[in-house]
Amino acid sequence: MNSKKNAFYAQSGGVTAVINASACGVIEAARAHKDKIGKVYAGRNGIIGALTEDMIDTSRESAKQISALMHTPGGAFGSARFKLKGLDESRTEYERLIDVFKAHNIGYFFYNGGGDSADTCYKVSQISKKMGFPVQAIHVPKTVDNDLPITDTCPGFGSVAKYIAVSTSEAAMDVASMARTSTKVFVLEVMGRHAGWIAAAGGLAGATPDDAPHIILLPEVPFNQRKFLQRVKQSVEKNEYCVVVVSEGAQYKDGRFLADAGTTDAFGHKQLGGAAQIIAQMVRNELGYKYHYAVADYLQRSARHIASATDLAQAYAVGKAAVEMALAGKNAVMPAIIRTADKPYKWRIEAAPLARVANKEKMMPKKFISSDGFGITAACRRYLEPLIKGEAYPPYKNGLPVYADLKKIPVRKKLKIDYKL
Amino acid sequence: MNSKKNAFYAQSGGVTAVINASACGVIEAARAHKDKIGKVYAGRNGIIGALTEDMIDTSRESAKQISALMHTPGGAFGSARFKLKGLDESRTEYERLIDVFKAHNIGYFFYNGGGDSADTCYKVSQISKKMGFPVQAIHVPKTVDNDLPITDTCPGFGSVAKYIAVSTSEAAMDVASMARTSTKVFVLEVMGRHAGWIAAAGGLAGATPDDAPHIILLPEVPFNQRKFLQRVKQSVEKNEYCVVVVSEGAQYKDGRFLADAGTTDAFGHKQLGGAAQIIAQMVRNELGYKYHYAVADYLQRSARHIASATDLAQAYAVGKAAVEMALAGKNAVMPAIIRTADKPYKWRIEAAPLARVANKEKMMPKKFISSDGFGITAACRRYLEPLIKGEAYPPYKNGLPVYADLKKIPVRKKLKIDYKL
């Protein structure tokens, strides 16, 4: 029995338009090596599914439905915001994890997530060895934040980037045509609490300084109200309108988020009005321009309908490579995307040791931000452009996308003790 | 010279993802009848372009660029929120309009807009006759609000409807996968100040009551906080999550907008936080659920990347039909879309007299709203479904849509007097 171990796959943290493509890559690659890997069990709601022994037997799903994961947004098996801490603090959880793995003869752990899950993955590999039931733990990269080190980009990011670039360019054409008598300033709020990667992608919509977006507000550049308003005014006076892309993480010099402006509502509750609203009202109050604003929120990271073909291919590739690395005996690694050329974009996949991945954030390099702080540089554009290339449309029926329809048959529990979260 | 009159085309009010397809229909149909119609002049910034004699000579654009209008969002020649009032109040404007038409030998007026522009169009037809320079005025329907009478639907609406239905279904999959440990309630705010057509389209995302969206808040149904919160709680308890689509026009029984909740910010300015934010905070305050919200704003009406093929075809068809009606000697009419079958959807175009179109709003019929007020009925679904059918993707280059690139060569001014707006 031990010669053919099962695999456990779980999704972690915020989901993306293409995280299920990574699931598809893992499951299809495992199915292609049935001689070496038993079944792939997926955690219902991520790692919680392992702790509570609540797993889905993916071997009961048809090849067609597994393949349909390629065009299905969200997390097909459920994800979780649940961080395992250090080995000492969270020893009970780690031990329970290994107990479950042992009970279900799981020798491979594929953890699909961002920085936190890379850390968990690393620790599972360490502790399982110590507990005498070594598990090969492979981290499958995923995060719209694009902040994992070593890898050229993180699957999920390219599709958000494409959505934001396309949406910015469409909305800009709308505002441009209304500006004479109506809206002059349009603000689009995008995700990115710590790094401005997604906001930067909005910059792809325009090639010259007069093109929209005229202003990008990045978390990396302290917000200066005077300079900002001056730039808005300049843009409206020159181009008749102004398009602003603002990161939800945009902040003042002292680290306060724009969105956290300390205002309270009628009930005395702190206003959580987003950055876009704050910025838009600032423009109206100080300059008197009519504004509109949009908050993309979950729409941006679930927009499978306009996913990047490059991103989709990479999401699948890291899932597949994770299985191949496991079969090659690797442990505590992450398949990283290595860029070998910009134009045309070329990349391959290499194993990056998790010790070098865990707990490191890749920030936007300074050379990607224009000297005035309001835009992106040619180097940034060169980096971002290939990531949004190609369209990969889902199939449609009656005007709506068709998604995977999984049976999600649970794996029979084997442990006597229920686990309380 | 009088035997071959020129045409004037103008876009009016909020633009749509497909208003330029109507422009394309007008221009291509006129070009197909060069023996009868001279040049098509487009108003820069809509009717303002006529008043200020600022017109674009579309005959200088290549056939390829005119055809590219089919996949170009926004208003290609600029639109305007500029309402001509009654003949007495706005006599100067009407007279100026006719002076410009006379100077440029314009015998056809194609006005592409919603209810207000139908009214203006009607008046131009009346006054031009009185002034001895009769102009055939044809209204080309357009509005995401879907509130014009007689016509089955208004070009522009089907594409917004598709965008909202697709986005709701994508975001719902995201929330569903996060609900166990994170966001439980997701609120999407959509356009529609007076009628709930766009919010209703969100309902297409789900087929059964347990499917998202679980709640639709329409302007037609007075908001009842107790009932709403009860429904949110039910949905979270049963499905683990709740998706709400709220119309920006959602209101209390006394007509106050949700978005107009009377809160003020730190500067004493009235908070213009949208309906989604108000609703989301209400859920958090009263039920304690973690929420996310998105505000689609201009993204929804400019989303040419996910336009409905049906809508696009209708937008082109009404433009083309407008020219054909003009050539058939019709005046003061609007090409209306007449539905002849639901499944498969069949429609034809008929001339509707503007006297019956102007100043009438088509509201959502009661039979389209479910008895609890939180959803749509089968009849509504039958009406909406065909309107979002079919995808009509723009061409892409390097990951971004390619749009029309017009030269916009101005028509030489002929009048001695400049017009001050």
Instruction: Report how far residue B331's alpha carbon sits from residue B69's, in angstroms, rounded to the nearest whole number.
Output: 26
Of the candidates A167, A302, A388, the beta carbon closest to that of B399 is on A388
Residues B296 and B315 in one domain: no
Q: How confident is the model at residue B273 (pLDDT cuts 50, 70, 90)?
A: low
CATH code, domain carrying B288? 3.40.50.460
- ipTM, two decimals, is 0.96
Supply B7's token pair: 């045409």
The string over B42-68, giving b where at least 16 C-beta atoms fall within 10 Å of a residue's C-beta and e elsewhere, is bbbbbbbbbbbbbbbbbbebeeebbeb
Mean pLDDT for the stretch of residues A182-205: 96
Residue B379 lies in a domain: no
In B, minimum Cα distance to A170 occurs at B302
How far apart are alpha carbons B161 and B145 in whole angstroms?
10
Same domain, B332 and B292: no
Residue A181 lies in a domain: yes
Q: Which helix (H) or strand (E) holds B169?
A: helix B157-178
Picking from A277, A302, A327, the residue at the C-terminal end of a domain is A302
Total of domains in chain B: 2
Which pLDDT does position B421 carry in this prediction? 79
What the block records as the tokens of A228 is 């900002």
Whether residue B114 sits in one domain with residue B241: no
B193 located within any domain: yes
Q: Do B73 and A170 touch (CB under 8 A)?
A: yes
B-chain CB neighbours of A304 within 8 Å are: 170
Contact A224, A166 (CB under 8 A): no
List, as one string, the DSSP characters of A176-214.
HHHTTTS--EEEEEE--SS--HHHHHHGGG-SSTTSSP-
User: Each residue of B288-298: pLDDT tens digit?
Assistant: 999 999 999 99
Distance of CA A41 to the CA centre of its chain: 23
Q: B293 contacts in A (CB within 8 Å)?
A: 295, 297
Indicate which of A164, A265, A271, A382 best probes the interface with B, i.e. most B CBs within 10 Å of its own CB: A265
Alpha carbon of residue B107 to chain centroid:
27
- Rounded CA-CA distance B307/B16 in Å is 10
Would residue A148 count as lying in a domain? Answer: no
What is the spatial order of strands in the sheet that A345-353 belongs to? A55-57, A40-43, A6-11, A106-113, A136-141, A333-342, A345-353
Cβ contacts (< 8 Å) between A174 and chain B: which residues? 15, 73-75, 298, 301-302
- Euclidean distance between CA atoms A375 and A202, whole angstroms: 10
Q: What is the pLDDT of residues B31-77, one digit of tens each?
A: 999 999 999 999 999 999 999 999 999 999 999 999 999 999 999 99
**Pairwise CB contact (< 8 Å): A188 & B299:** yes
> Are the beta carbons of A199 and A223 closer than 8 angstroms?
no
β-bridge pairing B291-295 and B396-397 = unpaired
Question: How many CB atoms lie under 10 A from the CB of residue A255?
Answer: 9
Cα B306 to Cα B161: distance, rounded to the nearest angstrom: 10
Among chain B residues, the shortest Cα distance to A299 is held by B171
3 state SS of A380: helix
| Among chain A residues, CA nearest to B270 | A281
Domain match, A180 and A198 both: yes
Q: How many CB atoms lie within 10 A of CB A63?
A: 10
| B219 min Cα distance to partner chain A (Å) | 20
Tell me which of A99, A116, A119, A145 is the catalytic residue: A145
Give the model's pLDDT for residue B68.
Answer: 98
pLDDT digits (tens, 9 = 90+) for A50-60: 999 999 999 99
pLDDT higher than 60, residue B240: yes
User: Closest to A398 (Cβ–Cβ): which among B169, B267, B385?
Assistant: B385
Which token pair is B321? 């039909």
Assigned domain for A417 exists: no
* Maximum CA extent, chain A: 74
Q: Are residues B161 and B227 in the same domain?
A: yes
User: In sequence order, what are the residues at sequence separation of 6 or more whose Cβ sits closer than 8 angstroms to the Cβ of residue B4?
Assistant: B35, B36, B37, B38
pLDDT tens-digit map of A404-416: 999 999 999 999 8
Q: Which residue of A has its CA nearest to B299?
A: A171
CA angle A394, A399, A402 (to 5 degrees): 40
Token duo for residue A402: 């068709």
User: Does residue A262 carry a pLDDT above 60?
Assistant: no
Range of the domain at A97: 6-142+309-360+394-401
Omega within 30 of 0 (cis) for the link into B222: no
Residues of B in contact with A191 (CB under 8 A): none
Confidence of residue A175 (pLDDT cuts 50, 70, 90): very high
In a domain, B70, yes or no: yes
A64 plus A129 within the same structural domain? yes
- Whether A315 is covered by a domain: the verdict is yes
Kindly indicate the confidence band of residue A193, based on its pLDDT and cuts at 50, 70 and 90.
confident
Same domain, A186 and A286: yes
Contact criterion met (CB below 8 Å) for A350 and A338:
yes
pLDDT band at A358 (very low <50, low <70, confident <90, very high): confident
A170/B302 touch (CB, cutoff 8 Å), yes or no: yes
How many other C-beta atoms can be found within 10 angstroms of the C-beta atom of residue A310?
24
CB neighbours of residue B221 within 10 Å: 20
pLDDT at A267: 45
The share of chain B scoring above pLDDT 90, in percent, equals 87
Q: What distance in Å separates the CA atoms of residue A323 and residue B224, rounded to the nearest whole number?
A: 53
Please calculate the CA angle B174-B176-B181 and round it to the nearest 5 degrees. 100
Is residue B420 pLDDT above 90, yes or no? no
Look at residue A117 and give its three-state secondary structure: helix
Pairing of strands B333-342, B345-353: antiparallel
At which of A273, A302, A331 does a domain end?
Answer: A302
What ranges make up the beta strands (E) of B241-392? 242-247, 291-295, 333-342, 345-353
Annotated catalytic sites of B, by residue?
145
A152 is a catalytic site residue: no
Whole-number average pLDDT of chain A: 94
Show which of A279, A302, A325 is a domain's final residue: A302
Confidence of residue B269 (pLDDT cuts 50, 70, 90): very low
Regarding whether A170 and A289 lie in a shared domain, the answer is: yes
Beta-strand ranges (E) seen in B86-202 are 106-113, 136-141, 185-190
> Which residues of chain A does B400 touch, with a Cβ-Cβ cutoff of 8 Å?
165-166, 169, 204-205, 388
Single-letter code of the amino acid located at B421: L
Residues B76 and B161 in one domain: no
- Element housing B203 (H / E): none
B126 and B166 in a single domain? The answer is: no
8 Å CB contact between A231 and A374: yes
| Pairwise CB contact (< 8 Å): B81 & A162 | no
Q: Which residues on chain B are in Cβ contact (under 8 Å) with A404?
A: none
pLDDT band at A261 (very low <50, low <70, confident <90, very high): low
Q: Which residue has the higher pLDDT, A91 or A271?
A: A91
Instruction: Tell me: pLDDT of B267 over 50.
Output: no
Say whether B271 and A272 touch across the interface (CB within 8 A). no
Tokens matching residue B358: 């102007």
- Which of B167, B180, B264, B396 best probes binding to A when mutated, by most A CB atoms within 10 angstroms? B180
A3 versus B307: the higher-pLDDT residue is B307
Task: List the CATH number of the domain containing A348.
Answer: 3.40.50.450
Query: Binning pLDDT at 50, 70 and 90, where does residue B248 land?
Result: very high
pLDDT at B415 over 50: yes
What count of CB pairs under 8 Å joins A to B?
A: 224
B297 with B316, same domain? Answer: no
**Which of A17, A171, A297 is the closest to B292 by Cβ?**
A297
pLDDT in tens, B329-350: 999 999 999 999 999 999 999 9
**Of A109-123, B269-283, B375-389, minimum mean pLDDT range:** B269-283
Does residue B286 sit within a domain? yes
Whether B117 and B33 share a structural domain: yes
Question: From the list A80, A176, A389, which residue is nearest B398 (CB)?
Answer: A389
